[in-house]
Amino acid sequence: MGACSGCEVRGNLFENNGYKTAVLDHNVYFSPHDEVNITIADNILRKSTHIDGTCQGVSLVMHGTAKNITIENNLIEEEVGKAMPTCYGIAVDPGYATEESFEHLIIRGNTVKNVGAIGIGCASCVDVLIENNVLINGNDQFFFGVAVPDRAENTLKSSGIVVQNNEVTVSSTTSTQQIGYLIKPIDENYTLINNTVSFTNQITDCAQLTGGVVATEAQCVAIKN
């Protein structure tokens, strides 16, 4: 847990960290206060906040205020059936009582497997690029592949969101709904291009956008497995 400016966290293995407190602890916890130029890349994260045999906290989380953030080429994975809904993959969002914001955020080229309710999410995030990520989920529970915003926001509202060239693969044997992309910034300033969802569950949605509109095939293509 911590923060830094002009720094990299690269090429590490984080496994079975944050096992003291459910939800509040994590494998990697960045807590910036006006830090800039942060890169988190080429890491492997497993068994985040494992309590009673299941992941119960976000594997890679950032709360606070930061600019110029790059999260890329990380592998985040849990075993099928070993993730509670609170076990998100990557989350850059508010978590404190003070004002928080995240500007110029790139989440790119990550692989996220079998986590909880959300694979990749951000909130109070502006000028965001989420691209070329692979999200695979075999758990029988509610799931969003990419969500913006992923939780309640502070004064700064999410805007300028580009989500492109991502792949979501979900498999579920139950009637639990799974959604590839939930993109609902208040100002409707987003672009959703060339994303796919592969699914087995008939009630899977490729995307849900601002106003509850389901994405067109030009924006998000659903592929039945």
Q: Are 162 and 148 in contact (CB under 8 A)?
A: no
Q: Average of pLDDT values for 131-140?
A: 95
Query: Does residue 2 belong to any structural domain of this protein?
Result: no
Model confidence at 219, in pLDDT bands (50, 70, 90)? confident
Domain limits at 109? 7-224
Q: Are 32 and 68 in contact (CB under 8 A)?
A: no
Measure the CA angle with vertex 71, ends 69 and 74; round to 5°: 165
Q: Average of pLDDT values for 94-120?
A: 97
pTM of this structure: 0.95
Least confident of 15-24, 190-199, 207-216: 207-216
Query: Does residue 58 belong to any structural domain of this protein?
Result: yes
In the chain, the number of structural domains is: 1
Q: What is the pLDDT of residues 57-70, one digit of tens each?
A: 999 999 999 999 99
- Give residue 112's pLDDT: 98
Give 70's contacts (C-beta < 8 A, 6+ positions apart): 38, 39, 40, 41, 106, 108
Q: Average of pLDDT values for 164-184?
A: 86
Name the residue type at position 190: Y
User: Which one, of 214, 123, 209, 107, lies nearest residue 165 by Cα?
Assistant: 107
Q: Average of pLDDT values for 79-92?
A: 96
- Give residue 174's pLDDT: 67
Query: Does residue 93 belong to any structural domain of this protein?
Result: yes
Q: How far is the C-alpha of 110 from the C-alpha of 122, rounded, in Å?
A: 15
Average pLDDT, the chain: 92
Query: Does residue 106 belong to any structural domain of this protein?
Result: yes
